[in-house]
């Protein structure tokens, strides 16, 4: 009876005296699988993230929630893949007939709300993308005690903004776009370090979601991070011309892009150093990941940097290069140094993972599976996924399914909802270069059935139903308490 009551109230059920871990989740923006040295990158120096990897766990088959920004963040926050989630694309593909950019609603349960039930202090810093001013989707309406950054992801394309949000108030930097005095990434790092310092001495643990915007274009970084690469790496033509375009003119695109990642690397290291300085490193789980594959927009050059490594595709594509992403977990004394796992996982696993680590029950019906066994030294008890699913509404509409070694992709399905799928065996063809659907019609049929079963209708996103396609509403993870 006592246990049942605790579950109903979502009271932590822990069998040991130690409190649940602090959680610091760091998300890069448009950082490719191959951009980091510890994932095979050969151009940009990332010594602090490489050190984090050497002292922690590296996953080689971790996936983003989507091939683009907003749905990835929604998936991370709510534990649903894009066949079930509220936000499935950057904007609604049904506009103007639809209702515009979707936002998280009051019934959606986020990881921050779940952790608050376990007594966590919660903060998010950086790029949000799940709700605009005045909507129910802003961070302070979705379980976060502290919030600082960009609500609108379009505003996040520029690193010297005229304003940012701090909770429900605008922080104005009126001359910033012209005088370039406040670099947003540096403001985010300062705010993150201060949030961690403010938790010192408190009995409650903290959850900090650092949603950095680097290395998303604009290509823009202070000179101290760019200078080491000027003249030391091959340069390309300047991007664009001064004025007249959304992204800024950048005379040294390669040096600037490399410098952006170096600045990100430096500041990840500063956070790890602070945890050590405060004596809470062993009490804190730190995870580093990225929201999708690398981009070719705004002068970025994933071909030169080999940003997708051995993988096919980049941002906005559901091939591996668009959705497979770095994942490094660090917690001294709990996670073994220099460990590695091929466990197949995704961003929607974070909510159930953090809930289990916090000792509370996650909402029912999630697509995510807890990775707590893997992150606490018990990989032998880690439950695998039966399959993973994605859908996106750009590039003519796309679906993808991963089941074991098999990966299926369909494109152009908005015009042709019965479009045949491509099938790849990732064990033998990581680059997705040879479509083997004709050789394995039975597996292709099973993968197509999984696509049909995994998609539910949504007022903002839909294609004509295929035979036997699920027509239910988007899942929300239950009502908030």
How much is the pLDDT for 461? 82
Domain residues for 101? Answer: 20-381
Q: How far apart are CA 142 and CA 62, in angstroms?
A: 26
Question: With DSSP H G I counted as helix, E B as strand and the rest as coil, what are the percentages for the chain, rounded to 5?
Answer: 30, 15, 55
CATH number of the domain to which 173 belongs: 3.40.720.10
Please list, in sequence order, all residues whose beta carbon lies within 8 angstroms of the beta carbon of residue 454, skipping any fewer than 6 positions away. Answer: 81, 83, 84, 387, 389, 391, 401, 470
Q: Are 459 and 87 in contact (CB under 8 A)?
A: no
How much is the pLDDT for 15? 35
Helices (DSSP H) in 47-202: which residue ranges?
A: 47-54, 69-78, 111-116, 176-179, 184-198
**3-state secondary structure (DSSP) of residue 327:** strand
How much is the pLDDT for 101? 75
How much is the pLDDT for 99? 55
Per-residue pLDDT tens digits of the chain, which is 481 residues long = 333 333 333 434 333 336 899 999 999 999 999 999 999 999 999 999 999 999 999 999 999 999 999 999 999 999 999 999 999 999 876 655 445 678 999 999 999 999 999 999 999 999 999 999 999 999 999 999 999 999 999 999 999 999 999 999 999 999 999 999 999 999 999 999 999 999 998 999 999 999 999 999 999 999 999 999 999 999 999 998 887 789 999 999 999 999 999 999 999 999 999 999 999 999 999 999 999 999 999 999 999 999 999 999 999 999 999 999 999 999 999 999 999 999 999 999 999 999 999 999 999 999 999 999 999 999 999 999 999 999 999 989 999 999 999 999 999 998 898 899 999 999 999 999 999 999 999 999 999 999 999 999 888 887 754 444 444 445 654 445 4
Q: Are strands 284-290 and 327-330 parallel, antiparallel or unpaired?
A: antiparallel
How much is the pLDDT for 146? 98
Count of structural domains within the chain: 1
- Is 46 inside a domain boundary? yes
CA 255 and chain centroid, separation: 25
How much is the pLDDT for 19? 82
- Is 432 inside a domain boundary? no
How much is the pLDDT for 357? 98
- Is 9 inside a domain boundary? no
Angle between helices 184-198 and 253-277 (to 10 degrees): 10
Q: Are 345 and 59 in contact (CB under 8 A)?
A: yes
- Is 247 inside a domain boundary? yes
Among 334, 329, 377, 319, which residue's Cα sits nearest to residue 349? 329
- Is 469 inside a domain boundary? no
How much is the pLDDT for 283? 97
- Is 458 inside a domain boundary? no
- Is 212 inside a domain boundary? yes
- Is 1 inside a domain boundary? no
How much is the pLDDT for 464? 57
């Amino acid at each position: 009876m006592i246990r049942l009551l605790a579950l109903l109230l979502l009271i932590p059920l822990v069998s040991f005296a130690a409190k649940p871990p602090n959680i610091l989740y760091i998300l890069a923006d448009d950082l490719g699988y191959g951009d980091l040295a510890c994932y095979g990158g050969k151009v940009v120096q990332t010594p602090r993230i490489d050190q984090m990897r050497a002292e922690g766990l590296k996953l080689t088959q971790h996936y983003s929630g989507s091939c683009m920004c907003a749905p990835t963040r929604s998936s991370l926050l709510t534990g649903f893949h894009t066949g079930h989630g509220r936000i499935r694309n950057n904007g609604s593909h049904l506009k103007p007939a639809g209702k515009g950019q979707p936002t998280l609603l009051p019934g959606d349960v986020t990881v921050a709300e779940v952790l608050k039930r376990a007594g966590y202090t919660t903060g998010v810093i950086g790029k949000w993308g799940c709700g605009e001013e005045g909507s129910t989707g802003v961070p302070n309406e979705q379980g976060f005690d502290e919030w600082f950054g960009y609500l609108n992801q379009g505003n996040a394309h520029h690193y010297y903004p005229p304003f940012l949000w701090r909770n429900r108030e605008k922080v104005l930097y009126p001359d910033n776009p012209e005088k370039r005095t406040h670099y947003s990434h540096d403001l985010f790092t300062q705010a993150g370090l201060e949030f961690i310092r403010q938790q010192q001495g408190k009995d409650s643990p903290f959850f900090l979601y650092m949603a950095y915007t680097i290395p998303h274009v604009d290509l823009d970084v202070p000179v101290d991070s760019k200078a080491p690469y000027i003249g030391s790496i091959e340069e390309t033509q300047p991007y664009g011309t001064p004025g007249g375009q959304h992204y800024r003119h950048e005379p040294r695109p390669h040096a600037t892009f490399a410098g952006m990642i170096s600045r990100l690397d430096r500041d990840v290291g500063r956070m790890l150093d602070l945890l050590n300085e405060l004596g809470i490193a062993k009490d804190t789980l730190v995870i580093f990941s990225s929201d999708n594959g690398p981009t070719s927009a705004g002068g970025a050059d994933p071909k030169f940097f080999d940003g997708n490594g051995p993988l096919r595709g980049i941002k906005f594509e559901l091939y591996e290069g668009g959705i497979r992403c770095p994942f490094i977990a660090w917690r001294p004394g709990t996670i073994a140094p220099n460990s590695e796992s091929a466990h197949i996982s995704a961003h929607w696993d974070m909510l159930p993972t953090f809930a289990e680590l916090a000792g509370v029950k996650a909402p029912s019906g999630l697509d995510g599976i807890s990775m707590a066994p893997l992150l606490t030294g018990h990989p032998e008890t880690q439950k695998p996924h039966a399959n993973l699913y994605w859908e996106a509404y750009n590039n003519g509409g796309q679906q993808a399914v991963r089941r074991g070694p098999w990966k299926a992709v369909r494109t152009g399905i908005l015009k042709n909802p019965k479009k045949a799928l491509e099938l790849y065996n990732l064990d033998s063809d990581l680059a997705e270069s040879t479509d083997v659907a004709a050789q394995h019609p039975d597996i292709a049929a099973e993968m197509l059935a999984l696509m049909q079963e995994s998609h539910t209708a949504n007022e903002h996103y839909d294609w004509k139903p295929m035979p036997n396609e699920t027509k239910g509403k988007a899942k929300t993870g239950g009502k908030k308490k």
